[in-house]
Amino acid sequence: MGVSENNLKLGLDRIGCPAAAFCAIANFSETKFSRAVRGLQPLNGGEIQQLTKLLTQIRDLCYDASPLPVSFRDPGAIKKLLAHRRAGVRLVPVPVGPAGAVADFETEFMEAQPLAAAQ
């Protein structure tokens, strides 16, 4: 496996995105992606660029949602969220509830941000 393919695989692992969901979001052949990450058939420069850009966008979406996890069970929903994000809409979790509970949540949220940034 090439460096770029390995970086894609590691990036997907870090955000918990299965390759099948990623390929569905990217409208990319799952077979071709699988062959690439197994080192059987490298991706071309344009494919690497396209998939790396998409991975960055998905990672940024996960960062916005932190500390809430992003589910990749519905790739169509992720595609919609990405389209909205590209149009300038950002996902911002806003806690609502008793003051003490909100303060506790915000403390956890601030502690979780550096972890999300490392993704």
- The domain ranges of the chain are 3-118
Q: Is the pLDDT of residue 115 over 90?
A: no
The pLDDT, as a whole number, for residue 93 is 76
CATH for 3-118 is 1.10.260
How confident is the model over 37-46, as a mean pLDDT?
Answer: 93
Does the pTM exceed 0.85? Answer: no
Summarised one tens digit per residue, pLDDT across range 53-104 is 999 999 999 988 887 889 999 999 999 999 999 999 987 878 889 999 988 8
Q: Is the pLDDT of residue 6 over 60?
A: yes
HEC string of 46-114 equals HHHHHHHHHHHHHHHHHHHHCCCCCCCCCHHHHHHHHHHHHCCCCCCCCCCCCHHHHHHHHHHHHHHHH
